[in-house]
Amino acid sequence: MNEILKVEALHKTYDIKKLFKPTLKLKALSGINFHLSKKETLGIVGESGCGKSTLAKVLTKLESITHGEIILLGKKYNDYLALEFHSKIQMVFQDPYQSLNPRKKAFDIIADPIRINTQTSSLEIDYLVMEMMKKVGLREEFSKRYPHHFSGGQRQRLGIARALMLRPEILILDEPVSALDVSIQAQVLNLLLELQVEFNLSYIFISHDLSVIQHMSDRILVMYLGRVVEYGSRDQIFYNPLHPYTKILLESAPKTQKSQKTHGKTLGQEIIVKGELPSALNLPKGCAFEPRCPYAKVSCKESVPDLEIKQGREVACFEV
């Protein structure tokens, strides 16, 4: 079976309780559908508040599902036992300064996943840790050091090593390079590409940085305020975007080469999107992007557009 993860009509709602005020419902995710195939990278892109971090937490079971179903290797999420689940899906976090316990040595950080979950002998753990450190490009003598001795890039390598120790099939990468310097970003991205081939990994790559998403992904999911607005292959999204939000996102990303704006032709001229993200507590009745959309019509205010297949990909817009 090629498809290893399937997300069906996923909803996540938070209750915001305030003293003396009625409880508010914050819809962090509404009706998310996607699937992930073996050895594939699915890029998830969107701005802050679009729900991509919530999605990462739900996918790793750090948060519960409100509605809907996630199926991992043909089995529902809720049917998994802890160990079985953790050895299928792991995560690399955004901030390499917060995601490593400052009081633990590099060796222990990498070794703990095995120590907790298996009965491996300490000799074998030694071997496995050293092997993994080599694979992520960390020298053996670093194993005795504490996280604050490492640079940002090295810390992120440590985080990747830890995530791979249980040999997961899916790795969720939550903004793995956005806290790193430009010259280090490329090193880490290259490492991720190598490891994907070596360990047959499937990636869910979450980022706000379009150029990184463009480089890493096979297929892309564009999110806006907890909803999917466009879902298609890398080439469809980057060279022929259909949803106005996707277009504007691509247009806004700073580029060094003007000639690269291949999507410019569909846009005609440069548009600066007006306004900012509305509050997720007070979503518009119609399309969530309508208040900022340059193509909005009256009908956009009235109902939420569904995802429909148009030109080979899924788009949620009335005007396409």
Is residue 268 close enough to count as binding another protein by CB under 8 A?
Answer: no
User: What's the closest the beta carbon of residue 145 comes to another protein, in angstroms?
Assistant: 10
Neighbours of 176 (CB within 10 A): 29
User: What's the closest the beta carbon of residue 283 comes to another protein, in angstroms?
Assistant: 16
Query: How would you write the chain as a 3-class SS string?
Result: CCEEEEEEEEEEEEEEEECCEEEEEEEEEEEEEEEEECCCEEEEECCCCCCHHHHHHHHCCCCCCCEEEEEECCEEHHHCCHHHHHCCEEEECCCCCCCCCCCCCHHHHHHHHHHHHCCCCHHHHHHHHHHHHHHCCCCHHHHHCCHHHCCHHHHHHHHHHHHHCCCCCEEEEECCCCCCCHHHHHHHHHHHHHHHHHCCCEEEEEECCHHHHHHHCCEEEEEECCEEEEEEEHHHHHHCCCCHHHHHHHHHCCCCCHHHCCCHHHHCCCCCCCCCCCCCCCCCCCCCCHHHCCCCCHHHHCCCCCCEEECCEEECCCCC
Among 248, 280, 293, 300, binds another protein (CB under 8 A): 248
Among 38, 208, 263, 310, binds another protein (CB under 8 A): 208
User: What's the closest the beta carbon of residue 305 comes to another protein, in angstroms?
Assistant: 20
User: What's the closest the beta carbon of residue 167 comes to another protein, in angstroms?
Assistant: 12
Q: Which of residues 20-79 bind another protein (CB under 8 A)?
A: 41, 47-48, 60, 62
Segment interacting with another protein, rule: CB under 8 A, options 7-15, 65-73, 99-107, 119-127: 99-107
Residue type, 70: I
Is residue 3 close enough to count as binding another protein by CB under 8 A?
Answer: no
Residues facing 67 on adjacent strands: 11
Among 25, 76, 167, 255, binds another protein (CB under 8 A): 255
Is residue 263 close enough to count as binding another protein by CB under 8 A?
Answer: no
Is residue 117 close enough to count as binding another protein by CB under 8 A?
Answer: yes
Is residue 296 close enough to count as binding another protein by CB under 8 A?
Answer: no
Segment interacting with another protein, rule: CB under 8 A, options 25-33, 120-128, 209-217, 308-316: 209-217
CB closer to another protein out of 83 and 281: 83
User: What's the closest the beta carbon of residue 79 comes to another protein, in angstroms?
Assistant: 17
Q: Which of residues 187-206 bind another protein (CB under 8 A)?
A: 187, 189-190, 193-194
Among 257, 265, 282, 298, binds another protein (CB under 8 A): 257
Q: Read off the tokens for 319.
A: 């005007």
Strand 313-315 with 308-310, pairing? antiparallel
CB closer to another protein out of 123 and 272: 272
Residue 295 neighbours by CB under 8 Å, 6+ apart: 244, 319
User: What's the closest the beta carbon of residue 273 comes to another protein, in angstroms?
Assistant: 5
Contacts to another protein by CB under 8 A: 41, 47-48, 60, 62, 82-83, 86, 90-91, 93-95, 98-104, 112-113, 116-117, 146, 151, 153-154, 159, 162-163, 165-166, 181-187, 189-190, 193-194, 208, 210-212, 214-218, 234, 248-249, 251-257, 260, 272-273, 276-277
